[in-house]
C-alpha cells in the first residue's frame, strides 16, 4: 500500500496495533498459556492480528464520519470480550464458549464469587479506549479520506495473508489443530482468542444440527466400540448392598490433597479420615467435569457419559433421552430424590432432574434459610443436613438420594464462629480460606451420619461420597506450591490436583474389611459401580465407565480437556509424563497408544449427546418417569 493509503487509515491501524498489543499482554498476564518454544511464542504474538485487521477494516466501507466511531466501538467490544474471558478464566481456567452464555441465568446466583473475581486493575483495560477517543478528535485523525477499491482489496489481501500464515504455522506446530475442539487452550494459543470465538460459533451451528440429522445408524459404531471395550463388573461385589437405601453425597470442591493431611498440627478432614478406615477408599480417583462443574459431576454420576466440552449438558441438552440411574432404579422399587438448598432453576436442574427420572427435588423452598444459618452461597452444610434428615420422613424406602453441599464453594466464606481450623498462611486469601470451609463440610457430614444413626437410617444404607470438582484453580498455584512444599506447580502436578476423594461406605460390610484402592478411576465409573453394588446388571447399557471393583478394568481415565491418566503415564498439554517421577518421559511416544482411545471416548460421548442418540437405544426396561415435584 502506498504512503498516502496509510495516512487515510492511520487511525484504524493505530487502534489495531493498540488492541493487538493489549491482547498479547492479556495472554501473558491473565491466562496460563504454556509456551514450549520460540515458534509457539511467535504464534501467540501474531494470532490476534488477522482478526483485528479484518474487524477494524470493515470501517473502510463506511463513510468518513462513521469510520472512527466504528473503530472506537469495535475497540470497546473487543475489550469487553477480553475482560469477560479474564474473569471467567480466573475461576474456571477456561475460555468462554457460546453454551456458557446460555447459562447466563446462573449469574444472578454467583454473588460474592463474581465480586471476588473482578479486580480493580481490570479498569486499566479501558485506558487505551479513552486515549483513542481523545486522539480521534485531533485534526489529523478526525477526518479520514475515502479509500479506493484497490486500496481496500490490498488491505484485505494483507489481512488474509496474515491469517493463513498464522494458521499454516499453527498447523505445522500442532497438526489436526481444528479437530481438538475440547482443547481450548491449544486453540487460543494457536488461532487466537477472537478467532476461537468465531470457531466456537461454527461449532455451535454444527452441533445444533446434529440432532436433526441423526438416526439409529449413528449409534451402531458407538455400541460396537463400547461392547469391545466393556469389562465385566466384579461378581463378588454384585448385590452386596441390594435393597439398601442409597445416600450420594457430593462434596463441593473437595480435592484429595486435603485428605489425611494436617494444617498447623490439626487434621483438615478428621471425620472423613476416620470414615476411610471403615470404608473402601479410592485415592487415585479423578473428577472429569468441564464448564458445567457440579452439574457435570451429576451428569457423569447418573449417566456414565462424559459432559460436553462446551457449556453444561444440563442447559444444552436437558430434553434428551437418557438411561439414567434414577430411571433405572424405578424398576427396582426405588424412590429417588435430590436435596440441594439452591434455586431449582440453577444449572437448569428443575428440567434436567425430571429428564433423569428423579421423583422429587427438595430445593431452597423446602428449607428454612435465614441470615443466621447462611453464608456465602446459602444454607450452611450443617443446617442443610439437619433439615434434610427431617425431610427424609416424606421419602418412601428404599430410596436413592443425592445431597449437594454448598459451604465449601468459591470464594470459601465462613463465619468466625464456624471456623474449626485456622486459615492457611499465604498471600492468597482464597487458598487460606479454603481449608476452613473444607473442615466445616467435614464436620457437617459427621453430624449428618450421627443424625441418620439416631433416625434409624444408617445401618440399612450405602453411602457414596465424592468430590464434585476442583476448588482451587491454577490461578492459585503459588499458594498451592507453598502448601504442598513444592518449588512450583507443573502441568503434571495440575493433573494430580484433579484427584477428588471417593468413599464407598457400607455399614456392616466395609467396616469389617476396609481397603484403600490405588487404581486409576474417575466419575465416569460411578454409575456402573453403584448399580453393581445394588445387584443391577448394566452389561447391555450404554456407558463409558467401568465398575471400579472390576478385576480386569483398564487403568485409564480421560479428563474433559483431553488429558488422560494411566497407571504409568499422565498426558497433558502435549507432554507425556512418567507417573513415578512426575517428569516428561524419555520415550516421547510412550503415551501414543492411549491418544486415540482418549479422543474416541470424548467424541463418541459428544455424538450421543448432540445427536440425542439414546432415543434410538432399545432396552428391556422402559420405565416411565414421574414428574419431578416440589410439593
628: in domain: no
Q: Are residues 546 and 432 in the same domain?
A: yes
Q: Are residues 393 and 325 in the same domain?
A: yes
199: in domain: yes
- Kindly report, residue by residue over 254-279, the tens digit of the pLDDT: 999 999 999 999 999 999 999 999 99
Q: Are residues 194 and 80 in the same domain?
A: yes
**Nearest in space to 555 (alpha carbons), one of 579, 531, 573:** 579
Do residues 259 and 269 touch, judged by C-beta distance below 8 A?
yes
Q: Provide the whole-model pTM.
A: 0.79
102: in domain: yes
pLDDT at 623: 42
Q: Are residues 202 and 263 in the same domain?
A: no
Q: Are residues 204 and 221 in the same domain?
A: no
Q: Which residues are CB-contacts of 293 (< 8 A; sequence separation ≥ 6)?
A: 92, 312, 468, 469
**Least-confidence region, from 135-139, 235-239, 304-308, 453-457:** 135-139
Do residues 16 and 53 touch, judged by C-beta distance below 8 A?
yes
Give, in order, the Cα–Cα distances in Å from 256 to each of 495, 502, 538.
Answer: 12, 9, 29
User: Distance between CA 538 and CA 620 in Å, rounded?
Assistant: 11
Q: Are residues 192 and 308 in the same domain?
A: no
415: in domain: yes
Place of cell 432415543: 615
Q: Which of 180, 210, 240 is the last residue of a domain?
A: 210
Q: Which residues are CB-contacts of 66 (< 8 A; sequence separation ≥ 6)?
A: 59
Q: Kindly tell me the sign of the dihedral angle through the C-alpha atoms of 191, 192, 198, 202.
A: positive
629: in domain: no
Q: Are residues 194 and 233 in the same domain?
A: no
Q: Which of 210, 243, 259 is the last residue of a domain?
A: 210
Q: Are residues 161 and 232 in the same domain?
A: no
Q: Which residues are CB-contacts of 239 (< 8 A; sequence separation ≥ 6)?
A: 532, 533, 534, 535
Q: Please count the other Cβ atoms lying within 10 Å of the Cβ belonging to residue 617.
A: 17
Q: What grid cell was written down for 131?
A: 486515549
pLDDT at 624: 40
Domain residues for the domain of 349 are 217-616
Q: Are residues 470 and 379 in the same domain?
A: yes
> Between these two residues, 10 and 342, which has the higher pLDDT value?
342
Q: Are residues 230 and 203 in the same domain?
A: no
**Nearest in space to 553 (alpha carbons), one of 580, 505, 521:** 521
Do residues 310 and 322 touch, judged by C-beta distance below 8 A?
no
- Kindly report, residue by residue over 225-259, the tens digit of the pLDDT: 999 999 999 999 999 999 999 999 999 999 999 99
Residue 435 CA to chain centroid, in angstroms?
Answer: 22
- Quick one: which H or E segment has residue 399? strand 399-404
597: in domain: yes
Q: Are residues 506 and 558 in the same domain?
A: yes
Averaged pLDDT of the chain? 88
Compute φ and ψ for 339, nearest 5 degrees.
-115, 115
Does residue 147 carry a catalytic annotation?
Answer: no
159: in domain: yes
- CATH code for position 505: 3.40.720.10
Q: Which of 294, 490, 546, 572 is catalytic?
A: 294
- Burial (CB < 10 A; 0-12, 13-18, 19+), residue 630, is exposed
**Nearest in space to 606 (alpha carbons), one of 264, 241, 269, 207:** 207
Q: Are residues 236 and 147 in the same domain?
A: no
Q: Which of 210, 243, 273 is the last residue of a domain?
A: 210
* Count of structural domains, the chain: 2
> Between these two residues, 554 and 173, which has the higher pLDDT value?
554
Q: Kindly tell me the sign of the dihedral angle through the C-alpha atoms of 438, 444, 446, 452.
A: negative
- Kindly report, residue by residue over 370-411, the tens digit of the pLDDT: 988 988 778 999 999 999 999 998 899 999 999 999 999 988
195: in domain: yes
Q: What grid cell was written down for 356?
A: 433423569
Amino acid at each position: 500500500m502506498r504512503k498516502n493509503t496509510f495516512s487515510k487509515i492511520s487511525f484504524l491501524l493505530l487502534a489495531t496495533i493498540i488492541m493487538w498489543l493489549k491482547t498479547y499482554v492479556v495472554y501473558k498476564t491473565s491466562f496460563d498459556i504454556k509456551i514450549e518454544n520460540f515458534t509457539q511464542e511467535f504464534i501467540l504474538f501474531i494470532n490476534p492480528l488477522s482478526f483485528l485487521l479484518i474487524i477494524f477494516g470493515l470501517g473502510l466501507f463506511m463513510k468518513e464520519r462513521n469510520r472512527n466511531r466504528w473503530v472506537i466501538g469495535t475497540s470497546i467490544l473487543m475489550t469487553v470480550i477480553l475482560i469477560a474471558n479474564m474473569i471467567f478464566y480466573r475461576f474456571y481456567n477456561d475460555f468462554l464458549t457460546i453454551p456458557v452464555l446460555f447459562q447466563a441465568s446462573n449469574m444472578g446466583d454467583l454473588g460474592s464469587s463474581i465480586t471476588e473475581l473482578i479486580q480493580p486493575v481490570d479498569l486499566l483495560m479501558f485506558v487505551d479506549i479513552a486515549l483513542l477517543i481523545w486522539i480521534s478528535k485531533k485534526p489529523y485523525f478526525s477526518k479520514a479520506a475515502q479509500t479506493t477499491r484497490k486500496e481496500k482489496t490490498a488491505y484485505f489481501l494483507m489481512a488474509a495473508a496474515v491469517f493463513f500464515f498464522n494458521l499454516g504455522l499453527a498447523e505445522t506446530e500442532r497438526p489436526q489443530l481444528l479437530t481438538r475442539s475440547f482443547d481450548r487452550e491449544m486453540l487460543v494459543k494457536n488461532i487466537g482468542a477472537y478467532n476461537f470465538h468465531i470457531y466456537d460459533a461454527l461449532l455451535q451451528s454444527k452441533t445444533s444440527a446434529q440432532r436433526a440429522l441423526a438416526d439409529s445408524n449413528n449409534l451402531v459404531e458407538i455400541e460396537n466400540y463400547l461392547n469391545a471395550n466393556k469389562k465385566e463388573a466384579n461378581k463378588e461385589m454384585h448385590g452386596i448392598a441390594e435393597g439398601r437405601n442409597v445416600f450420594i453425597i457430593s462434596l463441593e470442591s473437595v480435592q484429595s490433597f486435603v485428605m489425611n493431611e494436617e494444617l498447623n498440627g490439626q487434621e483438615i478432614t478428621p471425620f472423613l479420615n476416620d470414615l476411610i478406615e471403615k470404608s473402601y477408599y479410592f485415592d487415585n480417583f479423578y473428577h472429569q467435569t468441564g464448564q458445567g462443574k457440579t452439574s457435570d459431576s451429576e451428569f457423569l454420576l447418573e449417566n456414565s457419559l462424559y459432559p460436553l466440552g462446551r457449556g453444561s449438558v444440563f442447559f444444552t441438552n436437558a430434553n434428551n433421552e437418557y438411561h439414567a440411574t434414577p430411571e433405572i432404579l424405578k424398576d427396582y422399587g426405588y424412590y429417588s430424590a435430590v436435596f440441594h438448598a439452591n434455586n431449582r432453576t440453577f444449572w437448569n436442574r428443575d428440567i434436567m432432574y425430571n429428564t433423569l427420572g428423579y421423583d422429587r427435588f427438595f430445593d431452597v423452598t423446602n428449607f428454612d434459610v435465614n441470615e443466621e444459618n447462611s453464608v456465602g452461597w446459602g444454607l450452611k452444610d450443617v443446617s442443610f443436613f439437619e433439615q434434610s434428615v427431617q425431610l427424609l420422613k416424606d421419602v418412601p424406602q428404599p430410596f436413592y438420594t443425592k445431597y449437594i453441599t454448598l459451604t465449601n464453594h468459591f470464594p470459601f466464606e465462613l463465619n468466625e464462629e464456624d471456623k474449626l481450623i485456622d486459615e492457611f498462611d499465604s498471600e492468597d486469601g482464597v487458598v487460606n480460606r479454603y481449608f476452613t470451609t473444607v473442615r466445616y463440610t467435614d464436620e457437617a457430614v459427621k453430624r449428618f451420619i450421627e443424625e441418620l444413626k439416631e433416625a434409624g437410617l444408617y445401618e440399612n444404607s450405602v453411602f457414596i461420597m465424592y468430590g464434585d470438582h476442583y476448588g482451587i484453580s491454577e490461578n492459585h498455584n503459588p499458594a498451592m506450591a507453598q502448601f504442598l512444599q513444592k518449588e512450583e506447580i507443573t502441568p503434571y502436578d495440575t493433573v494430580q490436583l484433579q484427584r477428588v476423594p471417593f468413599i464407598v461406605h457400607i455399614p456392616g460390610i466395609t467396616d469389617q474389611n476396609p481397603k484403600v484402592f490405588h487404581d486409576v478411576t474417575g466419575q465416569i465409573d460411578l454409575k456402573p459401580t453403584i448399580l453393581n453394588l445394588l445387584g443391577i446388571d448394566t452389561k447391555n447399557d450404554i456407558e463409558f465407565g467401568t465398575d471400579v471393583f472390576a478385576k480386569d478394568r483398564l487403568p485409564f481415565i480421560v479428563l474433559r480437556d483431553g488429558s488422560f491418566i494411566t497407571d504409568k503415564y499422565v498426558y497433558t498439554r502435549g507432554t507425556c509424563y512418567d507417573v513415578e517421577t512426575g517428569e516428561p518421559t524419555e520415550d516421547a511416544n510412550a503415551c501414543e497408544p492411549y491418544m486415540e482411545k482418549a479422543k474416541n471416548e470424548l467424541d463418541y460421548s459428544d455424538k450421543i449427546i448432540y445427536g440425542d442418540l439414546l432415543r434410538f437405544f432399545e432396552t428391556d426396561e422402559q420405565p416411565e418417569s414421574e414428574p419431578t415435584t416440589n410439593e
